[in-house]
Amino acid sequence: MNLNVIIVPHESGFRAWTGGLLDLTADGPTPDAAAEALRALVIARLPKFEVRTIHVPDPLPVAERVSDPQRDADFEAFREAVEEYRRIHNTVPDDE
């Protein structure tokens, strides 16, 4: 398994961090030492968990949102307000 880690300077040298799922950190005097210390932590943790992907369905599919009558009424009112604003403010003087 390949795992991207972040290594940053730290007061004791360098800190390596897995972030997210594992949320592990390890320090070392060099970037390589910090990465190796973090690798040891990850190996120790691996037998204790599983990584799975779950699917969470959208509670309101896009098709239902688009056909919402209230939403359509709000959009129609917005469109009418834009037309009115343009009618008043976007007039071009006649060339007379």
Proportion of the chain above pLDDT 70, given as a percent:
82
Residue from 53, 4, 10, 1 nearest 29 by CA: 10
| Per-residue pLDDT, 89 | 85
- Check pLDDT > 90 for residue 23: no
Residue 96 has pLDDT above 60, yes or no: no
CA distance 19 to 70: 42
Amino acid 15 reads R
Q: How many other C-beta atoms can be found within 10 angstroms of the C-beta atom of residue 14?
A: 19
pTM of the model: 0.49
pLDDT-based confidence at residue 64 (cuts at 50, 70, 90): low
Overall average pLDDT of the 23-37 stretch: 94
Report pLDDT for 16: 92
Q: Enter the tokens of residue 92.
A: 């071009």
- In the block, tokens 């098709």 appear at 63
DSSP codes joined into one string, 30-68: SHHHHHHHHHHHHHHHGGG----------SS-HHHHHT-
Least confident range from 18-27, 40-49, 55-64, 73-82: namely 55-64
